[in-house]
Structure 1
Amino acid sequence: MFLKMSAKHIRIFLLFVWLIILFWQTQPLSLIQEYAGFAFLGLLGAIFANATGAGGGVVFVPFFNQLEFSVASSVATSFAIQCCGMTAGAVTWWTFYKQIRANNQPQSLYWRPLGKTLLLTVPCSLLGLWMVQISPQFFAHFSDPNSLHTGFGVFSIGLALAIFATVFLLRNQDFNTKLSLIDYIALPTIALVGGGITAWLSIGVGELVAVYLIIRRFNVTFAIASAVILSALTVWGGIVFHIFITQAIYWPVVLFAGAGAIVGGILAKQLVLYFSAKNLKLFFAGWIFILGITSLPF
């Protein structure tokens, strides 16, 4: 009861802070009229992100491309929104993990590798992210909009095909509960590469780690939760660069999309637990495949 009340109080506090920020603006009513629709975008992106382990950039970046945001603004704004939505989802999934472990539920056995998985992936993801962000040559090369669109499209299509390929593994309920030597090698490597991709596209590390864990026959819900928590910590590690260096965050969009993303991050867990993992992944894979195709510059 205390935990429920505490969560309720936190949400009320966040709502209060959001209202203060909104009405601190010079023309809050005009701001609401012009940007309130982005709250739905944040809600949709966060639900997909936190229900599948993929970053919210899968939804945000194509939409910002259609609005003709610059490459820097698309990526930076996506990072900022994900700091809201992925954090809400990460806290929700972590609370779920603590609850099933405290109640000694049978499924808690599948979640035993969570701590080790995060220790293996988070530092390497941040390292990969920062290596790319501090490389001026890298960003000069990838500042071309066609580069962003092509990279995003190719990555999304590859991710969708990988998710389709893993669906047959969901029939096997004999899940792994321990990391093996190959996981101790593969997870840091994947996280390092994924962190670099995330710096470029605002998506990458969560998707790659989630797909890997599923291929390795770990529990799907555990894989999603691990990816969400990893993605949340990664985007927080990268947002400082966009606040002080690129200064490309479109804050009015973040104000509303971020609020929607927080709600989506809280609701996503219920979506995963309500629908079958197979149907959820098929739907999501189809969605990002279409986004990938439409992002290609042709």
Structure 2
Amino acid sequence: MAIAASQIVGMSFIIQSFGMSTGSLSWLWRIYDHRQADTGVPPAAFFRMLALILVPALPALLITQVAFDAPPEAVLYWFKALSVALGLTLLLTTLVGPKHSHVRLTPARGDYVALVCLGAIGGVATAFFSVGVGELVALYLFIRNFPLVTAAAAAVMVSALSVLTGVTHHLLTDPQPWGLLIFLIPGAVMGGAIAKYFALFLGARRLKIFAALWITLSSAYLMWVA
């Protein structure tokens, strides 16, 4: 099935709207499941963090969609470079740091400032590539040693709300190959439902290493082939 280049990002927005929404519900259940001991930072602090990410991310996403049809070359390069830098930082802090370092349950003022900045950068990146804000948030929260539940849930939820906000632009501007999407969407929903169990099975340390390697190597490869 022939797919135009302009449709690829739109397809990713649609697929993630289903997969990330399913994942968000799964992680939200975990946060409020009082039978579990590792539910992350207190819900009030968690949702404050989400709000500080989304307040700059969503306007940045929408403005970028209206202003640009394609990402300027410099934006693409620097986003991949930032991803490599954060990925390597996460990998090094995980491998070199103590295996049982203190888990941060209270965000500092600097964390809130950093999340606002990453939200703005991630919003622009998500508009261009359909990914960005969730990955940057996850890497930062892992580097800062927040609980696995907090880092994963925040990344999935901001991704879900971002793609749900931006998907309308693609639905209105480009015809989408629904004959193909109808087969991809169920897989995204299934992946969103089981991803939490995969993350919890790996545990915080192994998940950090996996995420760091995946983002670093994939971004470095994209920089090399470009």
Q: Distance in 1 between matches of 2:10 and 2:71?
A: 17
Q: Give the structure 2 partner of residue 206 of structure 1.
A: 134
| Amino acid in the other structure paired with 1:84 | F
Q: Distance in 1 between matches of 2:179 and 2:78?
A: 27
Q: Give the structure 1 partner of residue 183 of structure 2.
A: 256
Which among 162, 184, 194 is matched to residue 234 of structure 1?
162
Deviations 1:192-219 (A, max 9, x none): 1111111011111011111112222211
Q: Give the structure 2 partner of residue 115 of structure 1.
A: 47
Contact 2:31 2:149 in 1 (8 A): no
Q: Distance in 1 between matches of 2:26 and 2:104?
A: 23
The 1:252–1:119 alpha-carbon spacing in structure 2 relative to 1, beyond 3 Å, is same
In structure 2, the gaps of 5 or more residues are none
Q: Give the structure 1 partner of residue 203 of structure 2.
A: 276
TM (norm. structure 1) is: 0.66
Q: CA deviation at 1:269?
A: 0.9
| Amino acid in the other structure paired with 1:75 | V
The 1:218–1:170 alpha-carbon spacing in structure 2 relative to 1, beyond 3 Å, is farther
Q: CA deviation at 1:129?
A: 0.4
Q: Give the structure 2 partner of residue 89 of structure 1.
A: 23
Q: Distance in 1 between matches of 2:219 and 2:15?
A: 20
The 1:187–1:284 alpha-carbon spacing in structure 2 relative to 1, beyond 3 Å, is closer
Contact 2:11 2:181 in 1 (8 A): yes
Q: Which moved more, 1:192-201 or 1:206-215?
A: 206-215
Which among 155, 161, 169 is matched to residue 88 of structure 2?
161
Q: Percentage identity across aligned positions? A: 31
Q: CA deviation at 1:278?
A: 2.0
Q: Give the structure 2 partner of residue 18 of structure 1.
A: none
Contact 1:110 1:175 in 2 (8 A): no
Q: Give the structure 1 partner of residue 8 of structure 2.
A: 74
The 1:150–1:224 alpha-carbon spacing in structure 2 relative to 1, beyond 3 Å, is same
1:224 equivalent to 2:152? Answer: yes
Contact 1:187 1:209 in 2 (8 A): yes
Q: CA deviation at 1:274?
A: 1.3
Q: Distance in 2 between matches of 1:257 and 1:181?
A: 41
Contact 1:80 1:249 in 2 (8 A): no
Superposition CA RMSD, Å: 2.7
Q: Give the structure 2 partner of residue 192 of structure 1.
A: 120
In structure 1, the gaps of 5 or more residues are 1-33, 35-66
Q: CA deviation at 1:181?
A: 1.6
The 1:251–1:148 alpha-carbon spacing in structure 2 relative to 1, beyond 3 Å, is farther
Which among 211, 214, 218 is matched to residue 287 of structure 1?
214
Q: Distance in 2 between matches of 1:290 and 1:252?
A: 32
Q: Distance in 2 between matches of 1:233 and 1:279?
A: 27
Deviations 1:15-53 (A, max 9, x none): xxxxxxxxxxxxxxxxxxx7xxxxxxxxxxxxxxxxxxx
Q: CA deviation at 1:87?
A: 0.7
Q: Give the structure 2 partner of residue 26 of structure 1.
A: none
Q: Give the structure 1 partner of residue 69 of structure 2.
A: 139
Aligned residues: 223
